[in-house]
Structure 1
Amino acid sequence: MITLKMQHLNKILLPVIMMGSILGCDSASRKQLDQEAINKEMEQREIKRILPAEIVEGAYKQGNDIAVQAQELAVKLYQSEAGASEGLDSFVNERTLVTIDSLAKAHNAEIHWVPADAEQLQLSEMEQQLWEAYWYNVENDLPVNDNVQKINEEAYLYTKPMMLNPGLRKKLPGSEDTLRNTDFMGMWSIQLSKKEIIQAM
């Protein structure tokens, strides 16, 4: 009688024990996966030690990428009949700025076009200094290159001068016959977030 009861009890307990073992293994696997996910998340959030020079280098790269895209958009819009009919003085017009605004939002940046005749524009002190420096170099036949300046702990200013070189003239209808006192057309002024620069590195 006891033997029969024990056999009956074994039939009941054995599946329960096996199920417990399976659940226990499943739980252990879940814990391992959860721990792996936590470790991965911690690695991604780990603060990287980045030198100031590396941030500046990253600002040059990101700023140049944005400036090239902005210029390509401006050229494309100018190549339309409306753009070409307005002439080079309005190379970057209101319509162009609206299109470039979408580019700025995509990069969490601020993009400004500062034309060569920017005396009437309200520029920041840093933009004004850089604009004047570009003009000085142009008037004295010195090289004009892109530039990065630190604005504060959270932002950098990237500027890129735009010159009406032979390659650009070919892309701009009517510019071949346009006489200008200088090939300096203006500069792209792009304010970059330090956080965005680091994330892109």
Structure 2
Amino acid sequence: MPILIIVAVLIKIDSKGPVFFRQVRVGKNRINFKIYKFRSMFTDTKRFAGDMSSVNKELSKEELMKLRGSFVTKNNADSRITKVGKFIRKTSIDELPQLLNVLLGDMSLVGPRPDTPIQEIDYTSEQWVKRSLVKPGITGLAQISGRSNLSLEETIRLDLEYVDKYSLKLYLKIIFKTFSQVILAKGTN
């Protein structure tokens, strides 16, 4: 709790806007939910956030690909990131509010990271259905295998591997490896 309070104060001092960032993500059984994170970017940026609720549902594949291209998910030099944001991302502190998502039942501690609705275009329809068979997680197989340093294809492969090989042993292994990844700040953006 003290960490949460300190981070909240630092975010408010560093830049204008809310302490928390909320975004639509896709959960188990392809049901959308709002994810909670500490805000790490300036609020005056007007970029597409991946939510398809206000987008024309009859876009062509090419139009969807263009829209997807405007949604940046991994960028180490993003000018929208605040000073405090860089620190909380590197230490993964920005993810702590997702414990609320776990308590609400939208997420698990371990599972594929929850994607935004526009990211469905990155998958085949079979892959998209398969990854939604389990709850998304705060951490997962991709996060302990390279995090932001992985390609999209590697991340998808690892997320699907988690679904295929799910076991209590794998779940616990990922939790323990996550701690070393966070402490060493490996693969963070």
- TM class by shorter-chain length? under 0.3
Q: Which structure dedicates a bigger proportion of its chain to helix?
A: 1
TM-score, scaled relative to structure 1: 0.23
